[in-house]
Structure 1
Amino acid sequence: MISGFKNTLLNIIKTQPVVDQHSEAWILDTFLWVYQEFDGDVLLNDMRFVLPNAEFFPEQVSSIEQMASYVFTQVKQYAGMQAWPIQLVAPHQISEQSFPRLEFANVKRGESAELIAASGSLNISFNPNQINQPQDLIASFSQSLAHINVLQNRSLPPGGQEFVPQAVDLLSCFMGFGVMMANTAYQFRGGCGSCYNPYAKRSATLNESELIYILALLLKAKKLPLSHISSHLKPHLRTMLKRANKQLENTIKQSANPMLIALTEVK
């Protein structure tokens, strides 16, 4: 009897959508908004799924400051923002600042991006508590860079101003940091008293399910299999990714949006 109930429960979970209809519609609309507003072809062509391993972060460092500086430099490069006047400063050096006007010759990101005018520079900092949790640090840096992109663009996402934080998370995934974003979206607060440090956690706006759906969408747009990233996700997220992919495929079949179909069609 218990076994039968367990199987029934598992079947219900498997048939439930990963994201509800409203969230799915917003993700798809915002994905297309990001593509149109943020050099989508450059992002998709150049973007790599940044993974938490030595291939992407090969160097060893010996201090908090070196760790923060090294990770920031790597994240900035993978985000294609080498040309942007953004510096990392110590937490005690950060202060309120005005957003500068930046002008680029052509594209804004990637190796071919060329900054031709800037009214100033930007400073961002880091949370020292995240040094021992590098995925949180990487995801936090990527969120900061994505937020700067949204501010520079000055175009509101679907849903308007109140959806800017969610759009920042989606853009961070679009820039290649979705694996870390998904892995750090939920943090278990139980266990022994010394295991959980709330100050080390990043601020998550989109939840695990929404971020996994975005990852499935990006894999589809990049024409890559789920196996490209699945082994780097938390175990329960791997199953969720398969379900998200099935939901996405069904949605695409029913979609009449030519841009979505073109971006995700198998070639």
Structure 2
Amino acid sequence: MFSIFNKAQIVEPLIAKNLHLSFAWALDNFDRSFFNNTTVLVLPTREFFPDRADNELDMARALCSRILKYAGIADWPFKLVLPHEFSPQMPPVLNLETRQRQDNEIQEQHATTIIGSSNQQGAEEATALSPVLEISYISAMMKKPMDLVGSMSKNIAQHYLFQAQITPPAGPESFDASAEILAIFMGFGIMIANSAYTFRGSCARCYDPRANRTAALSEDEAVYCLALFCHYKKIDSKEVTPSLKNYLRASFKKARKQIARNSLP
């Protein structure tokens, strides 16, 4: 029956159920203990990203290193490749521990050096000695750090999910969306939500589509997953909303209410 007093919700009940299942799946398969005790909500601030650089590659390398550290997999053999040298291909399946991540102290002892293509000979030698997981970036995103971090965190989550060799709850076809949920699970929900949709604007001269992240989750789905993250981490909404786009703040609050009504533990 139609009613003007229906309680607000930002995603349909079936979608909400699937997102809950995906988040529970992440908890079961990607180190619940690390999530509970170490994972933080990464904010788009100097506190979380204090690095400065004189060139694009060094900045990308610094961002990648930070993201890997927050994700708990800084000891994995990632190789950062310049955009014009990057050729997407199926990564190797390595014997990596995916069900247990490393805390910051252990990561600092075993952190993998991010190999940059500015040292091409060294990169080739390192690649020949042992397989690596390649990651790149889009130069235009340097103008939009939120999209850049969102894109990098998703790409790293894709590698994490692929190395686990497990099928997401919604099936293999949901790999891309599941990787975004995993990126949110690892703490990058604000960047994923803020970059899920980009207004084109009215100035064609200023608009550069290459600077925008390609999203798998809808904006509302990303916000809902961010709210799930905050629910499980017991993070107050006041710590989140200042970093969200203005028009997403009300949606985030609705998502928290919708989750509360579902009586999650």
Structure 1 residue aligned with 2:96: 103
1:43 has 2:35 as partner: yes
1:216 has 2:227 as partner: yes
Higher relative contact order (CA 8 A, sep 6+): 2
Structure 2 residue aligned with 1:193: 204
Structure 2 residue aligned with 1:137: 148
1:64-93 superposed Cα distances (whole Å, 9 cap, x missing partner): 222211111111111111110001111122
Which consecutive aligned stretches of 4+ in structure 1 deviate over 6 angstroms post-superposition? 11-14
1:87 has 2:76 as partner: no
Letter in 1 for 2:101: K
Percent same amino acid at aligned positions? 33
Structure 1 residue aligned with 2:45: 53
1:165 has 2:157 as partner: no
Q: Which runs of 5+ in 1 are unaligned?
A: 1-10, 253-259, 262-267
Structure 2 residue aligned with 1:8: none
1:62 to 1:12, Cα distance in 2 relative to 1, 3 A: farther
With normalisation by structure 2, the TM-score equals 0.85
- SS of residue in 1 equivalent to 2:223: helix
1:98 to 1:53, Cα distance in 2 relative to 1, 3 A: closer
Of the candidates 172, 182, 195, which is equivalent to residue 184 of structure 1? 195
2:223–2:255: 8 Å Cα contact kept in structure 1?
yes
Q: Which runs of 5+ in 2 are unaligned?
A: 112-128
Cα deviation for residue 44 of structure 1 reads 2.9
Cα deviation for residue 13 of structure 1 reads 11
In 2: Cα distance, 1:243 partner to 1:14 partner = 13
In 2: Cα distance, 1:175 partner to 1:245 partner = 19
Cα deviation for residue 27 of structure 1 reads 0.4
1:27 to 1:137, Cα distance in 2 relative to 1, 3 A: same
Of the candidates 14, 17, 31, which is equivalent to residue 22 of structure 1? 14
- SS of residue in 2 equivalent to 1:102: coil
Greater alpha carbon shift after TM alignment, 27-36 vs 195-204? 195-204
1:123 has 2:115 as partner: no
1:106 to 1:192, Cα distance in 2 relative to 1, 3 A: closer
1:151 to 1:105, Cα distance in 2 relative to 1, 3 A: closer
Cα deviation for residue 30 of structure 1 reads 0.5
Greater alpha carbon shift after TM alignment, 102-111 vs 130-139? 102-111
In 2: Cα distance, 1:42 partner to 1:207 partner = 27
Letter in 1 for 2:250: T
In 2: Cα distance, 1:248 partner to 1:30 partner = 14
Cα deviation for residue 156 of structure 1 reads 0.8
1:84-141 superposed Cα distances (whole Å, 9 cap, x missing partner): 00011111222335413223398234344779xx962111111001011111110111
Cα deviation for residue 184 of structure 1 reads 0.5
Structure 2 residue aligned with 1:264: none
Letter in 2 for 1:208: E
1:209 to 1:13, Cα distance in 2 relative to 1, 3 A: farther
Structure 2 residue aligned with 1:149: 160
In 1: Cα distance, 2:70 partner to 2:131 partner = 23
Greater alpha carbon shift after TM alignment, 12-21 vs 228-237? 12-21
In 1: Cα distance, 2:252 partner to 2:12 partner = 15
